[in-house]
Amino acid sequence: MKLLIINGPNLNLLGLREPGIYGKGTLSDLEDFLRKVGEEEGVELSFFQSNHEGAIVDAIQAAYGAMDGIVINPAAYTHTSIAILDALKAVSLPAVEVHISQVSEREPFRQVSYAGMACLKTYMGLGFEGYRQAILCLKDHLAGKGAEA
């Protein structure tokens, strides 16, 4: 089982700025944590981070036929990008949305998620643990257990 983990704009700054909102762990810490999760769960993970909307669309398209599912934190593009929503719908791979912070308790402009409309489930406010939950959700879904409801 192969999953693609996508992180959107500014998440390359994790741990370097705003630790009160996003925690102290860096993007590299997140990927190390998830590599261990992948080993424990027998899931092969690939990582992609970009600050560019089109590059994220390209990565989603490239996942078609190569990956079994997508975990995505589109960051600010969550709230603006119909292109990312369309790409997720186009490839029709099972996808799960993750946000490190509790987006539902933040500004009004963060209350719409376009990407989330193409996702099985959203985890928010759990920090790095949300990504682990997303991997487990996709693993169950792909095994036919469908625990995402």
Whose tokens are 């409309």? That residue is: 117
How many residues make contact with ligand CA2 (CB under 6 A)?
16
**Candidates 16-24, 35-43, 51-59, 83-91; binding stretch for ligand CA2 (CB under 6 A):** 16-24
Q: Contact between 76 and ligand CA2 (CB under 6 A)? A: yes
Interacting residue with ligand CA2 among 2, 17, 35, 52 (CB under 6 A)? 17
Pick one of 49, 50, 73, 81: the residue that binds ligand CA2 (CB under 6 A).
Answer: 73
User: 110: closest CA among 134, 80, 73, 71?
Assistant: 80
Backbone dihedral region for residue 72 (phi beyond 0: left; psi -120 to 50: alpha; all else: beta): beta
Active-site residues, by number, are 22, 99
Is there binding between residue 105 and ligand CA2 (CB under 6 A)?
no
- Number of Cβ within 10 Å of residue 16's Cβ equals 11
Question: How wide is the angle at C-alpha 27 spanned by C-alphas 141 and 3, nearest 5°?
Answer: 25
Rounded to a whole number of angstroms, the minimum distance from the CB of residue 42 to ligand CA2 is: 26
Pairing of strands 2-7, 69-73: parallel
Using CB under 6 A as the criterion, which residues of the chain lie in contact with ligand CA2 when the complex forms? Answer: 10-11, 13-14, 17-18, 22, 73, 75-76, 78, 99-101, 103, 110
